[in-house]
């Protein structure tokens, strides 16, 4: 059966991301381990997954497997909950004819304002601790750039636009209804705002490391 020639379901015209290809490949690997497909079928389907361009083309390769019929979690809303985000920022990141960076192990506030005017701002949340489920990054780039990175297992939404500039946000759906949602808003005027995941960085991994350090410190305290 030539799976690649089957018609994709309607409404699946969106371009596939690397994370979505990885998810389908993992499902196929599990199906092979469970004996649901043969090694030859696995190789054929994985090859098709790597060449697929849309979400609909990807779904073809698993639609005869149980994983394709499990109820998918509801996607994160495309706007923050009304009243959930304060109007005043927790952090202002300003670069005027200069550069400004926020990165490393730090707590992500609910609202971050970034201003790049003939300068560059980098906001890297890939190691951040999320105390809140919804985070808004309001970004303004005027002849400058705002570059945003997030863990790949959060949801990411874009709400801004560009005026003779580039405003690009990679839409992500975590699949976990409790995962943080990062909303990137604002404008790029003769500049650029870009937000995308940093591959290999996960919120859970970071929180686990923090908990292990806390447990270790607590044990040392109790031993004394």
The string of pLDDT tens digits covering residues 13-52 is 778 888 788 889 989 998 999 999 999 999 999 999 999 9
Between 224 and 162, the higher pLDDT residue: 162
The string of pLDDT tens digits covering residues 87-139 is 999 999 999 999 999 999 999 999 999 999 999 999 999 999 998 999 999 99
Task: Return the percentage of the chain with pLDDT > 70, whole number.
Answer: 83
CA angle 40/46/50 to nearest 5° reads 150
Confidence tier at 199 by pLDDT (50, 70, 90)? confident
For residue 31, what are its two tokens? 């199906």
Confidence tier at 193 by pLDDT (50, 70, 90)? very high
Confidence tier at 5 by pLDDT (50, 70, 90)? very low
CB proximity list for 109: less than 8 A, separation 6 or greater: 89, 90, 91, 132, 135
Cα dist from 118 to 114, 124, 170, 177, 191, whole Å: 13, 20, 24, 38, 9
Angle between the 39-51 and 18-33 helix axes, to the nearest 10 degrees? 180
Confidence tier at 203 by pLDDT (50, 70, 90)? confident
Give the best-scoring range by mean pLDDT among 22-26, 112-116, 157-161, 220-224. Answer: 112-116
For tokens 């995962």, the residue is 179
Between 215 and 131, the higher pLDDT residue: 131
Alpha-carbon span 93 to 49, nearest angstrom: 40
Segment holding 222, helix H or strand E: helix 203-223
| Coil vs helix vs strand at 48 | helix
Burial class (CB in 10 A: 0-12, 13-18, 19+), 24: buried
pLDDT value at 222 more than 70? no
Check residue 6 and give its pLDDT.
45
Q: Is the pTM of this model over 0.75?
A: no
Average pLDDT, the chain: 85
CB proximity list for 11: less than 8 A, separation 6 or greater: 56
Q: What is the mean pLDDT of residues 145-158?
A: 95
Q: What is the mean pLDDT of residues 201-223?
A: 59
């Amino acid at each position: 059966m030539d799976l690649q020639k089957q018609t994709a379901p309607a409404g699946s015209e969106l371009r596939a991301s690397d994370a979505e290809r990885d998810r389908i490949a993992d499902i196929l690997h599990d199906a092979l381990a469970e004996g649901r497909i043969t090694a030859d079928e696995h190789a054929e389907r994985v090859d098709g997954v790597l060449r697929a361009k849309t979400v609909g083309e990807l779904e073809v390769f698993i639609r005869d497997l149980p994983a394709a019929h499990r109820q998918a979690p509801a996607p994160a809303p495309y706007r923050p909950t009304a009243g959930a985000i304060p109007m005043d920022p927790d952090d202002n990141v300003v670069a005027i004819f200069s550069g400004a960076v926020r990165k490393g192990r730090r707590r992500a506030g609910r609202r971050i304002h970034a201003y790049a005017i003939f300068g560059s701002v980098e906001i890297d949340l890939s190691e951040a601790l999320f105390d809140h489920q919804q985070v808004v990054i309001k970004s303004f780039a005027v002849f400058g750039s705002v570059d945003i990175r997030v863990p790949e297992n959060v949801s990411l939404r874009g709400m801004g636009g560009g005026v003779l500039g580039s405003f690009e946000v990679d839409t992500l759906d975590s699949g976990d209804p409790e995962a943080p949602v990062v909303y990137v808003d604002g404008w790029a005027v003769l500049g650029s705002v870009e937000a995308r995941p940093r591959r290999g960085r996960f919120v859970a991994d970071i929180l686990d490391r923090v908990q292990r350090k806390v447990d270790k410190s607590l044990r040392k305290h109790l031993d004394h």
